[in-house]
């Protein structure tokens, strides 16, 4: 979702929740690190993608969830079983135990992670610290030096992510 503008969203039907749109957002640091690692985007394209991410964050900040539009904090989703349970209930899903077991494997579609492929031995900490590879990169720093992005990200994500940078 983070790279696709609202107007161009392609929807995947998920069993039992066809009437809801799930927006899953990664924190800007790890989103950008992943995008840079792919190597498929120029700095100009990355700036455009950042604007798309900001649109999603703005939508959440100004309008919140409306019953049909549900925003999911990827970081919190990965780290908190309780958060996943809350989402399960909100979405009226069943088979939580089966879904929870799927959390411990990396799907092969799309080649897995941009950093580790389908390596299943990656820890949660590794996933959230990947941005550090780029912390001294000028393009990375320039793209993230955005007051609105910092404000919106600090409002949405589990922790004040930018306080650590």
Q: How far apart are the first and last CA of the chain?
A: 25
Q: In 80-157, which ranges are continuous DSSP H helix? A: 81-90, 96-102, 124-129, 138-144, 147-156
Residues 6+ apart with CB under 8 A from 108: 118
pLDDT of residue 115: 45
What local confidence, expressed as pLDDT, does residue 119 receive? 47
Share of residues in the chain with pLDDT > 70 (%): 68
Enter the tokens of residue 103.
């959390």
Which parts of 21-73 fold into alpha helices (H)?
28-38, 43-63
Over the stretch 33-86, which tens digit does the pLDDT of each residue have? 988 988 788 999 999 999 999 999 999 999 888 777 889 998 888 888 899 899
* 120 and 127 Cβ atoms separated by less than 8 Å: no
Domain positions in the chain are: 6-159
pLDDT for residue 12:
53
């Amino acid at each position: 979702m983070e790279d696709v503008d609202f107007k161009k969203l392609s929807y995947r039907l998920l069993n039992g929740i066809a009437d809801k749109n799930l927006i899953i957002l990664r924190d800007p640091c790890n989103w950008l690190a992943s995008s840079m690692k792919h190597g498929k985007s120029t700095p100009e394209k990355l700036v455009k993608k950042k604007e798309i991410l900001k649109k999603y964050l703005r939508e959440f900040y100004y309008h919140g969830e409306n019953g049909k539009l549900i925003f999911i904090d990827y970081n919190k989703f990965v780290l908190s079983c309780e958060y996943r349970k809350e989402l399960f209930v909100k979405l009226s899903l069943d088979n939580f135990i089966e879904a929870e077991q799927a959390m411990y494997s990396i799907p092969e579609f799309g080649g897995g992670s941009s950093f580790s492929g389908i390596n299943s031995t990656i820890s949660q900490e590794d996933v959230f610290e990947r941005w550090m590879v780029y912390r001294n990169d000028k393009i990375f720093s320039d793209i993230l030096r955005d007051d609105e992005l910092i404000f919106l990200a600090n409002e949405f994500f589990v922790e004040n992510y930018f306080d650590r940078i």
